[in-house]
Amino acid sequence: MTQADPRAAESLLAFWAEAGVDAMLLDEAVDRIEAGRIVPPRPPERKAVVPAPTAKAQTPDVQGAVAEARRLAGEAQDLDALKAAIAGFDGCPLKFEGARQAVFSRGRVDAPLMIVGEGPGAEEDARGEPFVGKAGQLLDRMLAAAGLTDRVFITNTVFWRPPGNRTPTPQEQAVCQPFVERAIALVAPKMLLLVGAPAAKSMLKRDEGILSLRGRWFEWRSESGDLELPAMPTLHPAFLLRQPAAKKKAWSDLLTLTERLDRPERGG
């Protein structure tokens, strides 16, 4: 009998190993066909493990945050102090969700028109001023065309960028509202321009869509009822960038507002 070449055996073993075979021989023969007909027993049912009760997750204390915001806002005697109070306020969750800094305002401190938008975006978060991105640049061009440059004070309903530029929640807007109202009291404008649905709904406490609200006059009232101003909602410049055909409506709103702003006041 000729002895097998060990190199051939090694080559064959290597071939089977690469094919995934990891056992060549068993001590006893196994009938694989018969084994496939046997139904394996079902494993015993395992009872669901009920986690031990834990402390109830804490929900944000909106009322407490609003009260603290109202206290801080009331102590601010000028816009610089109000800006510092906002920067130091920890009651709005947006501050801790990735925002770089608080974004308060830009514009004339005694402006006859205050513009209130939704909230800061990425460009605003980086630069620390509202409406400085593409939407803000369009807003500035519209204000210039209407003769309103240097006649406006611009802010938002929230002062920190929402993650992913999402719409701020009513709770987030509520805790920032005392600062917005204090800004209105310090600037003392003649009227408000509310830019976009989130700003209009929050400031006016209404549920209609912006296409229904825009171009109409409403009376804005502060939470205490001490302040009252005419307010007009209009379309957000970001919407106009996506829907250029709507610019005509926004321009009409701006002309209507400017006409009322420049209307001579009646004598007493």
pLDDT > 60? residue 1? no
| Residue-wise pLDDT tens digits, 191-250 | 999 999 999 999 999 999 999 999 999 999 999 999 999 999 999 999 999 999 999 999
- High-pLDDT (> 70) share of the chain, %: 76
What is the residue-wise DSSP string for 48-59? PPPPPP-PPPPP
Determine the pLDDT at residue 51: 53
Determine the pLDDT at residue 50: 53
Overall number of domains in the chain: 1
What is the residue-wise DSSP string for the chain? -PPPPHHHHHHHHHHHHHTT------SS---HHHHHHSPPPPPPPPPPPPPPP-PPPPPP-HHHHHHHHHHHHHH--SHHHHHHHHHH----GGGGTT--S----EE-TT-SEEEEES---HHHHHHTSSS-SHHHHHHHHHHHHTT-TTSEEEEES-SSPPGGGPPPPHHHHHHHHHHHHHHHHHH--SEEEEESHHHHHHHHT--S-HHHHTT--EEEE-TTSS-EEEEEEE--HHHHHH-GGGHHHHHHHHHHHHHHHTSPPPP-
Residue 242 belongs to some domain of the structure: yes
Band of residue 265 on the pLDDT scale cut at 50, 70, 90: confident
Q: Please, are residues 188 and 224 in contact by the beta-carbon 8 Å criterion?
A: no
What Cα–Cα distance (Å) separates residue 264 from each residue in 19, 112, 229, 250, 261? 93, 13, 17, 24, 8
Residue 149 belongs to some domain of the structure: yes
Band of residue 11 on the pLDDT scale cut at 50, 70, 90: low
If you average pLDDT over residues 17-37, what whole number do you get? 60
Determine the pLDDT at residue 58: 42
- High-pLDDT (> 90) share of the chain, %: 75
> In angstroms, rounded to a whole number, what is the distance separating the alpha carbons of residues 226 and 182?
11
Domain encompassing residue 146: 62-261
Residue 142 belongs to some domain of the structure: yes
Residue 15 belongs to some domain of the structure: no
| Residue-wise pLDDT tens digits, 165-195 | 999 999 999 999 999 999 999 999 999 999 9
Band of residue 268 on the pLDDT scale cut at 50, 70, 90: very low
Residue 32 belongs to some domain of the structure: no
pLDDT > 90? residue 15? no
Residue 219 belongs to some domain of the structure: yes
Residue 148 belongs to some domain of the structure: yes
| Residue-wise pLDDT tens digits, 119-168 | 999 999 999 999 999 999 999 999 999 999 999 999 999 999 999 999 99
Residue 167 belongs to some domain of the structure: yes
Q: Please, are residues 161 and 124 in contact by the beta-carbon 8 Å criterion?
A: yes
- Overall pTM > 0.85: no
| Residue-wise pLDDT tens digits, 40-82 | 666 666 665 555 544 343 456 899 999 999 999 999 999 999 9
At 133, which CATH number? 3.40.470.10
What Cα–Cα distance (Å) separates residue 121 from each residue in 21, 131, 233? 59, 8, 20
Which residue, chain included where needed, has tokens 């027993």?
41
Long-range contacts of 203-208 (CB under 8 A, 24+ apart): 203/116, 203/157, 203/231, 204/231, 204/233
